[in-house]
Amino acid sequence: KAGVTQTPRYLIKTRGQQVTLSCSPISGHRSVSWYQQTPGQGLQFLFEYFSETQRNKGNFPGRFSGRQFSNSRSEMNVSTLELGDSALYLCASSLATSGDTDTQYFGPGTRLTVL
């Protein structure tokens, strides 16, 4: 079974621009979560989508948004990019059929550099 895929793998943008990242979950997985990984802050939760609805959101500004499509694929968008948005953005998917035993599997990430 194919793993979580993310596109693009690398992105270079300039301040003020916006960016859209894409994530395709493992087949059959219904929940998609996004995380930001930086050397200073580590791995931080951005948001989770389930059945096209945002189920949970981390402590990030409104410039960070996302959505999920009916096929469970997800996109996240960052508007008005800042230098501090440079990070590895990770997507994780899970079955979400039983909350008590749900396990998230991660994709390779998208490396975003803001100049």
Partner 1 sequence: AQSVSQHNHHVILSEAASLELGCNYSYGGTVNLFWYVQYPGQHLQLLLKYFSGDPLVKGIKGFEAEFIKSKFSFNLRKPSVQWSDTAEYFCAVTSRSGSARQLTFGSGTQLTVLP
CB closer to partner 1, 74 vs 81 = 74
The yes or no reply on residue 75 touching partner 1 (CB under 8 A) is: no
31 binds partner 1 (CB under 8 A): yes
Q: Indicate whether 106 belongs to the interface with partner 1 (CB under 8 A).
A: yes
User: Measured from the CB of residue 12, what is the shortest distance to partner 1 in angstroms?
Assistant: 19
16: helix, strand or coil: coil
Q: Would you say 56 or 80 has its CB closer to partner 1? A: 56
Q: Give the x/- contact pattern for partner 1 in 86-105, rule: CB under 8 A.
A: ----x-x-x-x--xxxxxxx
Per-residue DSSP letter, 59: S
Which DSSP string corresponds to 61-115? -TTEEEEE-TTS-EEEEE-S--GGG-EEEEEEEE--S-GGG---EE---EEEEE-
